[in-house]
A and B are shown apart, each in its own frame.
Chain A
Amino acid sequence: MNKLEAKDVNLHYGEKHALKGISMGIKANSVTAFIGPSGCGKSTFLRCFNRMNDLIDNCRVEGEILIDGRDIYKNRINVVDHRKKIGMVFQKPNPFPKSIYENVAYGLRINGISHKKYLDETVEKSLRQAALWDEVKDDLKKSALALSGGQQQRLCIARTLAVEPSVILMDEPASALDPISTAKIEELIHDLKDRYTIVIVTHNMQQAARVSDNTAFFYLGELIEYDETSNIFTNPAKEATQNYVTGRFG
């Protein structure tokens, strides 16, 4: 069974038809990259998986999105509980204006966990998983805003890992970072694959080729092609995909 499954998903922003009949399945413990030119709907589609589009007025989603076989757009689902299982990392690092420690502990605290020892352990474990622990272990009380952009983004990943999601959605997580920080994030994605299902939106095709197992190419709100990454980049079935990955447009 697929971890994530989309069945004929349509999305409208008011009059605009932003996603057109998208169906795809994503396997557990894999990295899937969404590529495509700006405005093609890849970020919008990513946000369907944790119902982040609910926050936008006049946004309407049709079709089914299943996680572990459960439709998350059915009325009975608790959106708040659902979002705890689906972590998200955003394009721009967005740490809270709190200390490093409190940033990672936030997801636990909102669940009413205040047991000091448990919090300490989870903060350390999450920061270690996000390869940030050694850089910040001596000043956990320092403001997260004092960290560099790359460190902030890894902190945001640690913050997400602390609530133990099974899926992590990444919306261009490295686009605001320098090449060294980018390399660290990519390494991290590789390490996290064993335990999490990762979906990453990226503008950087080399990045998609480096980190992902499967790649989906979106264009004008449609899913043009979805296949193993090696096929998409070396032997795409559609001409549009070929043109995009070879840089002829986009």
Chain B
Amino acid sequence: MNNARKNEIKDNAFKVFALVCTSVGLIVLGLLLYNIISVGLTRINWDFITNLPSRRPGKAGIYTALLGMIWVVTLTLIISFPIGIGAGVYLEEYGKKNPFAKFIEINIANLAGVPSIIYGILGLELFGRLLALGNSILAASLTLSLLVLPIVIVATREAVKAVPGSLREASYGLGATRWQTISRIVLPASFGSILTGLILAVSRAVGETAPLIVVGALVYVPFAPKTPMDQFTVLPIQIFNWTSRPQSGFVVNAAAAIIILLMFVFILNGFAVFLRNRHNRRVKY
């Protein structure tokens, strides 16, 4: 067998290998989706979304969990995005490039890898007990904000770093101040990439359960939260609770709630991807 033939075989072998790898992921995902949809889809109706929790699976709904999740995620976004974007811009545009900055940079990246339960314990002690916020929505949002901040900061830094220096020079050359250059040139040009980081952060916040359990999210909340100081539950916790019940009706409920949660994440991601694509079409450099 000559060399060219050998290389061709290797080439094809790798192609097949890559295809198999991709397929494994897709097939597992497909099976999971199929399983959940076949169990839960028929359970989804308007009552399921607007009913309060109940001991009887047929009457139980996700109203309080869904509202709790929207409260928690919205507050998390409001708290973490300005801080994260501000910190990212500071580190990239203002901060000096010295060993201390390098040290901070590495540690922020490390924070993104800290297990979420640790954030839960920190949140419980700092927000729940020290600031006496108890097991409120605000305490949970602050905890999740800490959790997603590294993601937002790193994404912002990368996005800002990717803006060509020549654009900054052009702006400074015309007599722009640093803030004018950042607000009118750098941030608009990096908006699309920052948005990608924000999508990741939102998805992470929506799916987190462990830190919220530690902070004190309740499993059974018979009322809809009305202020950030109210007690709450969120969808993942409701799902976790239902799957541990013995009655088969709750398993169906859990599957249905998973479908709603997935739809929620898909819609959020879809919206963000739409915004990003529209933005990237306008801004190329």
Closest to A85 in B: B175
Check B174–A94 contact: CB distance below 8 A.
no
Shortest distance between the CB of B39 and any CB in chain A (Å)? 48
Query: Is A193 part of the binding interface, using a Cβ–Cβ cutoff of 8 Å?
Result: no
Interface presence of A239 (CB below 8 A): no
Looking at chain B's contact residues, is the secondary structure mostly helix, strand, loop, or mixed? helix
- On whether the beta carbons of B175 and A52 are closer than 8 Å, the reply is no
User: Inside 8 A of B166's CB, which chain A residues have their CB?
Assistant: 90, 92, 94
B164 sits at the interface (CB 8 A): yes
Q: Which of A8-16, A104-112, A197-205, A207-215 contacts B (4 or more CB under 8 A)?
A: A104-112
Cβ of A31 within 8 Å of any chain B Cβ, yes or no, is no
Whole-angstrom CA separation of A96 from B187 in the bound complex: 12
The minimal Cβ–Cβ distance linking A80 to chain B, given in whole angstroms, is: 5
Q: How far is the CA of A192 from the CA of B177 in the complex (A)?
A: 27
Q: A94-B169, A96-B167 are in contact. Are A163 and B189 (CB under 8 A)?
A: no
Chain B residues within an 8 Å CB radius of A109: 184
| Residues in B neighbouring A145, C-beta threshold 8 A | 284-285
Given contacts A57-B96, A57-B97, A110-B184, contact A159 B284 (CB under 8 A): no
A32 at interface, CB cutoff 8 A: no
What residues of chain B lie closer than 8 Å to A122, measured between beta carbons? Answer: none
Q: Which A133-190 residues have C-beta < 8 A from chain B?
A: 143, 145, 156, 159-160, 163
Contact string against A for B residues 166-194, beta-carbon threshold 8 Å, 1 for contact and 0 otherwise: 11111111111100100011001100000
B5 at the interface (CB under 8 A from A): no
Interface centre among A84, A92, A97, A145 (most CB of B within 10 A): A97
Which residues of A have CB within 8 Å of B176?
Answer: 80, 106, 110
Q: When chains A and B are docked, how far (Å) is the Cα of A88 from the Cα of B174?
A: 8
Q: A80-B176, A106-B174, A107-B174 are in contact. Are A52 and B189 (CB under 8 A)?
A: no
CB of A88 to closest CB in B, whole Å = 4
Interface residue count on the B side (C-beta < 8 Å):
24
B169 touches A55 (CB 8 A): yes
Question: In the complex, how many angstroms separate the beta carbon of A171 from the nearest chain B beta carbon?
Answer: 10
If the complex has contacts A97-B189, A97-B282, A145-B284, are A106 and B184 also in contact, measured as CB distance less than 8 A? yes
Instruction: State in angstroms the CA–CA spacing of A50 and B167 once bound together.
Output: 16
B170 nearest CB neighbor, chain A only: A94
Docked CA distance A160–B180 (Å): 17
| CB atoms of A83 and B172 under 8 A apart | yes
Centre residue among A57, A82, A110, A111 by max chain B CB count within 10 A? A110
CA A96 to CA B176, docked complex, whole Å: 13
Q: Does B131 contact A (CB under 8 A)?
A: no
Closest to B283 in A: A97
User: Quick one: given A96-B185, A97-B188, A145-B285, are A111 and B170 in contact (CB under 8 Å)?
Assistant: no
User: Is A81 positioned at the interface, with any CB of B under 8 Å from its CB?
Assistant: yes
B90 to chain A, nearest CB (A): 16
User: Whole-angstrom distance between the alpha carbons of A231 and B120 in the complex?
Assistant: 77
CB–CB A143/B184 < 8 A: no
Assembly CA distance A114 to B189 (angstroms)? 22
Q: Which residue of B lies closest to A163 (CB)?
A: B174
Please determine whether B171 and A80 come into contact, CB atoms closer than 8 angstroms: no
- The answer on a CB contact under 8 Å between A83 and B173 is yes
Interface residues of B in 133-183 (CB under 8 A from A): 164, 166-177, 180
Q: Are B167 and A110 in contact (CB under 8 A)?
A: no
Report chain B residues within 8 Å CB of A160.
Answer: 173-174
Report the Cα distance A109→B282, complex, angstroms.
21
Contact across chains for A52 and B173 when beta carbons are under 8 A apart = yes
- Interface set, chain A 85-101, CB cutoff 8 A to B: 87-88, 90, 92, 94-97
Residues of B within 8 A of A111 (CB): 175
Once bound together, how far apart are the Cα atoms of A164 and B167, in whole Å? 20
Closest CB in chain B relative to A164 CB, distance in Å: 11
Give residues 257-285 of B contacting A (CB, 8 Å).
282-285
Q: Is the CB of B170 within 8 A of A90?
A: yes
Min Cβ gap B200→A in Å is: 24
A81 contact set on B, CB distance < 8 A: 175
Nearest CB of chain A from residue B80's CB, rounded to whole Å: 27
Interchain CA distance A82-B175 in the complex, whole Å: 7
B97 to chain A, nearest CB (A): 6
CB <8 Å contact, A84 and B174: yes
Decide: A52 and B169 in contact? CB cutoff 8 A.
yes
Q: Assess the A87–B173 pair: CB atoms within 8 A.
A: yes
Residue of A nearest to B189 (CB): A97
- Asked if B164 and A94 sit within 8 Å, CB to CB, the answer is yes
Which of B166, B170, B175 has the most CB atoms of chain A within a 10 A radius of its CB? B175
B97: A residues at CB distance < 8 A: 57
Give chain B's interface residues, CB within 8 Å of chain A. 96-97, 164, 166-177, 180, 184-185, 188-189, 282-285
11 residue pairs of the A-B complex, CB under 8 angstroms, read A80-B176, A84-B174, A94-B169, A96-B170, A96-B185, A106-B171, A106-B176, A110-B180, A111-B175, A156-B170, A160-B174
